[in-house]
């Protein structure tokens, strides 16, 4: 059974995922292209390949590597599956990565209990957006809250993704990972970043209290 069998195959790039049995896939990782230029690639080809070897399905939006002189075909060779548009990737992925902040359309297409990783400038959040994150119980991480240099972003994002893939107990993983404590601004729908909450005009909760409260 194909993971994404409705996509049509073209000879240029692999548009339908490798034939992997669904019960062997631990998670699906989606990469969205950014609208701005000169943005870093969040994971290297080798890092993506490593996830594929660990039974993680990797979906990449067409053109993601253009600025880095990486073709869609190269992503395909390293085990990723190329998808034309962002919204099907969001629909199929457990974890979605984008360097820029998610657009309003992309946010409103998120599915319940999804995990997203991106830049997250507090001033761009509205009350409507954070209410939707709450309704869908989204867990979201902001790369900008880690204050890492661009040269370190790939290894940092790899650590974040590796920590949460296939997680059965997200609270416990957060307790053991300082990067998650620093980066998570929305935990299962609860805004836990004061600046975002104040800009959107909503209450906020401390992530430490959310993850260490066993009641």
- At 140-153, the pLDDT tens digits run 999 999 999 999 99
> What H or E segment, with its residue span, contains residue 75?
helix 72-77
Q: Is the pLDDT of residue 19 over 90?
A: no
Q: Provide, rounded to the nearest whole percent, the portion of the chain with pLDDT above 70.
A: 88
Confidence band, pLDDT 50/70/90 cuts, at residue 23: low
Taking a C-beta distance cutoff of 8 angstroms, is the pair 74, 65 a contact? yes
For residues 94 and 90, give the distance between their C-alpha atoms in angstroms, rounded to a whole number.
Answer: 8
CA–CA gap between residue 110 and residue 102 (Å, rounded): 10
| Domains, in order of start, for the chain | 1-100 (3.40.50.720), 102-113+122-215 (3.40.50.720)
**Can you give the pLDDT at residue 13?**
39
- Locate 17 and state its tokens: 């995922």
CA distances from 6 to 14, 16, 93, 128 (A): 13, 8, 15, 33
pLDDT at 174 over 50: yes
Residue showing tokens 């190269």: 74
Q: Long-range CB contacts (< 8 A, 24+ apart) of 188-196?
A: 188/113, 188/137, 188/138, 188/139, 189/133, 189/134, 189/135, 189/136, 189/137, 189/138, 190/134, 191/130, 191/133, 191/134, 193/120, 193/122, 193/142, 193/145, 195/122, 196/120, 196/122, 196/125, 196/130
Q: What is the mean pLDDT of the chain?
A: 89
* 25 pLDDT above the threshold of 60: yes
* Residues 40-69 pLDDT 10s: 999 999 999 999 999 999 999 999 999 999
């Amino acid at each position: 059974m194909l993971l994404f069998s409705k996509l049509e195959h073209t000879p240029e790039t692999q548009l339908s995922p490798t034939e992997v049995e669904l019960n062997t896939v631990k998670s699906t990782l989606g990469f969205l292209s950014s609208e701005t230029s000169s943005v870093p690639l969040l994971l290297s080809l080798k890092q993506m390949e490593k996830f594929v070897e660990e039974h993680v399905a990797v979906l990449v939006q067409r053109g993601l590597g253009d600025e880095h002189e990486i073709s869609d075909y190269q992503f395909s060779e390293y085990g990723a599956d190329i998808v034309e548009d962002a919204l099907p990737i969001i629909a199929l992925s457990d974890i979605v990565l984008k360097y820029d902040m998610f657009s309003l359309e992309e946010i409103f297409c998120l599915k319940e209990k999804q995990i997203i990783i991106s830049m997250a400038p507090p001033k761009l959040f509205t009350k409507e957006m954070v209410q939707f994150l709450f309704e869908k119980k989204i867990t979201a991480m902001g790369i900008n809250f880690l204050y890492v240099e661009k040269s370190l972003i790939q290894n940092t994002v790899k650590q974040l993704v590796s920590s949460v893939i296939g997680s059965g107990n997200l609270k416990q993983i957060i307790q053991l990972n300082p990067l998650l404590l620093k980066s998570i601004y929305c935990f299962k729908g609860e805004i836990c970043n004061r600046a975002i909450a104040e800009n959107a005009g909503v209450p906020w909760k401390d992530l430490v209290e959310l993850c260490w409260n066993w009641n």
